[in-house]
Amino acid sequence: MNRNFYKTLFLSSIVMLLSACQGSNSEEKITTTITTSGSDKEYLITVTRPNTTLHLVDLQTNKVIRQCDLPAGPGPGTLVMSPDNSIVYILTNHFSDIYGVNIDNCDVVFSTQQSTGNIRVKSIASIAISPDGKEIYTHQNRVKIMNDHYEMLPPQIAAFNTSAGLNVEASRTFDAPRQVTIMDALESGELIIGGQDIFLMDIHSGKYDVILPSLNDKQPGYSGKDVLSVWQMGKINNEFYRMYSRAKFNGKDGDLANAEYLFGHETVNLETGKAEAKDFGPVETVLFTSIRRPGQLNRVYATLNDLKEYDSTTQKLIRSIDLPYTYYCINFSHNGSKIYLSGALDSIAVYDPDTFEKLAHIKLTGDGSMSTSIIFKRQG
């Protein structure tokens, strides 16, 4: 494995990511309504393109029970839920706008268009909600468009009042680090910012500090961590989570010719704020997302063109199967008994985590592209 390994891995990942976003299809809309039974049920929510179509899936029946078309173009389809799981906020319209949708009736109850005038704003997949649901946060990459050139502006964190209705402007902004892709919020309210490193921001003062070095990790015997993460998949375990790869040097530091390459994950516990990083297995193929199994956090499952299981204690691959086609996102049921694969194309695949037996195939309209999925419980 030579010095060009990471460059080849990264470029291959981007090619697959962009090429899978080109296709789409359309089918008849689902109009089934939720019936109230008084019991707690699990649901999955995600979106598809070529438009932005919201899909609500009943995980007891594995059926799409509601679809909502949004008045916006696609991409990326990053989702966060209100604390009571009644409103989903979607980053969409080419990484620019946010819509809040009531999942019971498809009403749009919140919207913001981040670009104004000649200032173009893009948020890669960086959206978060406060623990009380009163504010939405985005990381804004800003460019001023002039007649004959673009002027790069400093990036910033923007806060929006979720009760302000439609076409909301930011209530306040703060300077922020560059190259931020995903975010979340601690239960105590501080904002977790995933960029070159992982930062924690006081959302009232705007002050932020590194809580976990990533690219700038100086651990002896290892390279800095390389992160391609535009999917926040840790909510099922109440944690901020992202995957990385890095080199472990078997000779001198920096000797890539004799290095081995490892996958790992960075986590921040949303209750305690504890941040840690841990390698979980060898790099042997391209993977886009991974997740820890609820109740068995040493077992890590990952996907792209394969479904893989690792034991992070031994850093060994336990199980692997080829998938019929690409899935970008992996998620779990709350009790850890089912795996849900989504993103990239037009379906959600359900697998048994102990045997990798395929349990169900949930058909969607359009394709999932870069969209995340959220699994949540509520009465239904």
Determine if residue 368 is left, alpha or beta; phi over 0 gives left, psi from -120 to 50 gives alpha, anything else beta: alpha
| The residue type at 246 | R
Q: Cβ atoms within 10 A of the Cβ of 18, count?
A: 10
Those residues with Cβ within 8 angstroms of residue 38's Cβ, 6 or more apart along the chain or in another chain:
379
Going by the DSSP 8-state scheme, the letter that residue 9 receives in this structure is H
Both tokens assigned to 242: 């992202």
What pLDDT shows up at residue 380?
A: 62
- CA dihedral over 319, 367, 378, 65, signed as positive or negative: negative
β-pairing verdict for 78-81 and 87-92: antiparallel
Nearest to 98 by CA among 85, 88, 79, 112: 112
Residues in the chain: 380
Mean pLDDT by 10 residues, the chain (380 residues): 45 46 44 52 96 96 97 94 98 97 98 97 97 98 97 98 98 98 98 98 98 96 94 96 97 91 98 98 97 98 98 98 97 98 96 98 94 91
What pLDDT shows up at residue 228?
A: 86
What pLDDT shows up at residue 160?
A: 98
Euclidean distance between CA atoms 257 and 98, whole angstroms: 45
In order of their start, the domains of the chain are 5-379 (2.130.10.10)
What pLDDT shows up at residue 2?
A: 46
Nearest to 188 by CA among 266, 274, 291, 81: 274
What pLDDT shows up at residue 30?
A: 52
Ordered DSSP codes for 293-334: ETTEEEEEEEEESEEEEEETTTTEEEEEEE-SS---EEEE-T
pTM, two decimal places = 0.91
Euclidean distance between CA atoms 1 and 380, whole angstroms: 52
Both tokens assigned to 298: 């040493």
- 52 contacts 345 by C-beta, under 8 angstroms: no
Name the strands in the sheet holding 260-269, side by side, starting at the edge strand that comes first in the sequence: 239-248, 260-269, 275-282
